[in-house]
A and B are shown apart, each in its own frame.
Chain A
Amino acid sequence: MSYRILVYVSISILLTLAASNCAQTETQVQTPAPSPREIWKFETGG
């Protein structure tokens, strides 16, 4: 019985870690670099 619990807990940990890694990779790929933001502009007229 304890052997089954140990296997169950181990598999759960592995699945959690795998899911965590996938999520991290996905986040890294999908997060765009922030685009520049305009602070000011000056018109020289030509």
Chain B
Amino acid sequence: MFSVPAVAGDSVFVGSCAGVFYALNKTTGQLQWSYDITKDGKQVSFHGNPLITGELILIGTDRSCEPDGVGHVYAFNRRTGAVKWKYKSTSVPTDIVQVGLNIYFGSFQDRWSAAKLQTGEPVWTFSTGIPNPECHLARSPVTDEKRVYITGVDGVIYSLDAASGRPVWKRKLTVAPSTSLAIRDKSLFVGTSDNRIYRLNSQTGESEAEIQVEAQPVGRPTLTGDSLFFFLENKAERAGFIVALTPDLAKVRWTQRSTPDWASERPHVARGLVIAGNCRGELAAFQVSDGAPKWKVNLKGCIRSVGDAGDTLFAGVQEGTVYALSY
């Protein structure tokens, strides 16, 4: 299970690695509805996170880079599970993001698409034309009101016009990005494999600030009111870090080192805590303000995703269990 448990109304939505998308009652865990994507072709995975909008929940599917694998974007009625529309693609391992009446997503083949939210009708596609023989997982796009920002397989960051898909600017950093993008206002944040974190101007792509950190940034960054959180990884030592930075990248607020490295997709921030999980089943919380450890709980399996709603925390493990925890 990779997709982050997403909450809307009285439901929590999760996609399993066995190819079934579930809506569960968030209070009791009882099944509300499910949809088996294997009936639509050779696909089993939900690598990206869903988009919840009005009555719909949209999710992408894939079967990694297998030549005969397929992927879809599904738009489900979130109360009944009825498929409003589905859009067939080679693979859709990214989040589904929205600007206005359109949605945006990417594929393993480095093809980026826009479609109409209400019908799934294609609007445009953009491709870097770069092959992906090592099957790198496409990183999810981010958006502002006018543009879609992607990282191509070629390691170049592109700003695309959301209406037309035309590149507005592209930016190649000294070394390739090692994290997904995060955006706030006119700043784009990304980590690179030479242990650096950059802040780019989202209007021009120019670098406005950068900072050296003690290991390679990985996964997805998380932005909160006054902090930016990244996972770092030292593969040689199998050590993981959570680093908290000021959004201007002027300083590191705190760093927490732990072993093994973190396996959940991003530092999850809720109720004044930064929460992360690893493949030993340890789910740990640190105080946002100073990184002080607050609690640790042991689950069974490799923790890949963390979500929350009010005083309930949801954790998905790769082996297929969804946990609801009161905290």
* A interface residues with partner B (beta carbon < 8 Å): 32-46
Which of A36, A40, A45 gathers the greatest number of chain B CB atoms within 10 Å? Answer: A36
Instruction: Determine whether the beta carbon of A37 is less than 8 Å from that of B321.
Output: no
The answer to whether A41 and B323 have CB atoms under 8 Å apart is yes
Tell me if A36 and B327 are in contact (CB < 8 A). yes
Contact B325 A39 (CB under 8 A): yes
On whether A40 and B324 interact (CB within 8 A), knowing A45-B16, A45-B18, A46-B16, the answer reads yes
Instruction: Indicate if the CB atoms of B297 and A43 lie closer than 8 Å.
Output: no
Q: Is B312 positioned at the interface, with any CB of A under 8 Å from its CB?
A: yes
Query: 1/0 per position for B224-264, CB-CB distance to A under 8 A?
Result: 00000000000000000000000000000000000000000
Cα separation A45 to B124 with both chains bound (whole Å): 37
Asked whether, in the complex, the Cβ of B24 is within 8 Å of the Cβ of A42, the reply is yes
Chain B residues whose C-beta falls within 8 Å of the C-beta of A32 in the assembled complex? 295
- In the complex where A32-B295, A44-B1 touch, is A39 in contact with B324 (Cβ < 8 A)? yes
Smallest Cβ distance from B101 to chain A, in angstroms? 33
Q: Is the pair B313, A36 in contact by a Cβ cutoff of 8 Å? A: yes
Find out whether the CB atom of A35 lies under 8 angstroms from the CB atom of B296: yes
- Residues in B with CB closer than 8 Å to A38 are 323-326
How long is the Cα–Cα vector from A46 to B22 in the complex, in angstroms?
A: 12
Which residues of chain B come closer than 8 Å to A46, judged between CB atoms?
Answer: 16-19, 319-320
Residues of A contacting B18 with CB < 8 Å?
A: 44-46
30 A–B contacts, CB within 8 A, in A order: A32-B295, A33-B294, A34-B327, A35-B295, A35-B297, A36-B325, A36-B326, A36-B327, A37-B325, A37-B326, A37-B327, A38-B325, A38-B326, A39-B312, A39-B324, A39-B326, A40-B28, A40-B29, A41-B324, A42-B24, A42-B31, A42-B321, A42-B322, A44-B14, A44-B18, A44-B20, A44-B22, A45-B20, A45-B320, A46-B319
Determine if B142 is an interface residue (Cβ-Cβ < 8 Å): no
Interface residues of B in 290-327 (CB under 8 A from A): 294-297, 312-313, 319-327
Tally of contacts, chain A with chain B, CB under 8 A: 68
**Cβ distance A38 to chain B, nearest Cβ, rounded Å:** 6
Contacts A42-B29, A44-B20 given; does A34 touch B295 at CB 8 Å: yes
Majority DSSP secondary structure for residues of B touching A: strand
Which residues of the partner chain A approach B325 to less than 8 Å between Cβ atoms? 36-39
Docked complex Cα distance between A37 and B323 (Å): 10
Which residue of the partner chain A has the closest CB to B322?
A: A42
Known: A36-B325, A36-B326. A42 touches B295 (CB 8 A): no
Task: Report B103 CB to chain A, min CB distance, Å.
Answer: 25
A2 CB, nearest partner CB in chain B, Å: 50
* Additional A-B contacts beyond A42-B24, A44-B1 (13; CB < 8 A): A33-B285, A33-B294, A34-B327, A36-B313, A37-B325, A37-B327, A40-B28, A40-B324, A41-B322, A41-B323, A42-B31, A45-B20, A46-B319
Closest residue of chain B to A46 (Cβ to Cβ) is: B18
Q: Which of A34, A35, A44 contacts B16 (CB 8 A)?
A: A44
Q: For the complex, give the distance between the alpha carbons of A38 and B191 in Å.
A: 34
The answer for the CA separation of A36 and B285 in the assembled complex, in Å, is 10
Residue in A closest to B292 when the chains form the complex, CB atoms: A33
Distance between A29 CB and nearest chain B CB, rounded to angstroms = 11
B38 shortest CB reach to chain A, Å: 11
Contacting residues, chain B, for A36 (C-beta < 8 A): 283, 295, 297, 313, 325-327
A36 to B324 Cα, complex, angstroms: 9
Contact across chains for A43 and B295 when beta carbons are under 8 A apart: no
